Amino acid sequence: MDDLLHVDSWSGGEAAAKRWKLRRPLASYTVAQFTLVGVAQTIAVGDGANDLPMLGEAGLSVAYHAKPAVRDRAMVCIDAGGLDRLIEVMD
């Protein structure tokens, strides 16, 4: 499980943070819900088999220094450099 920090500014002008535990297959849906975008507009980045359900749900799946099974199923593979290489894809 991963943590998603959601900041809610409704509480008297002070930001109240709520921590949500996400199951990876639902991560894209949860992020889409919080940001009011469609799941097709989300990007998921993973490196191992445990990330495959999350990558399968996102609009853009990125294998980042990933194992072969993940690279085979991702739309984009980054095997060298940092995540800034994703900018080249988005450009």
User: What CATH number did the domain enclosing 25 receive?
Assistant: 3.40.50.1000
Contact 19, 57 (CB under 8 A): no
Contact 5, 21 (CB under 8 A): no
Residue 67: is its pLDDT beyond 60?
A: yes
- pTM score, whole prediction: 0.68
Contact 42, 59 (CB under 8 A): yes
**Where is average pLDDT lowest: 34-38, 45-49, 84-88?**
34-38
pLDDT of residue 50: 86
Residue 73: is its pLDDT beyond 90?
A: yes
Question: Distance of alpha carbon 52 from its chain centroid, rounded?
Answer: 11
**Residue-range definition of the domain harbouring residue 27:** 2-90
Looking at the structure of the chain, the number of domains it has is 1
CA pair distance 24, 13, nearest whole angstrom: 32
CA pair distance 91, 10, nearest whole angstrom: 36
pLDDT of residue 32: 74
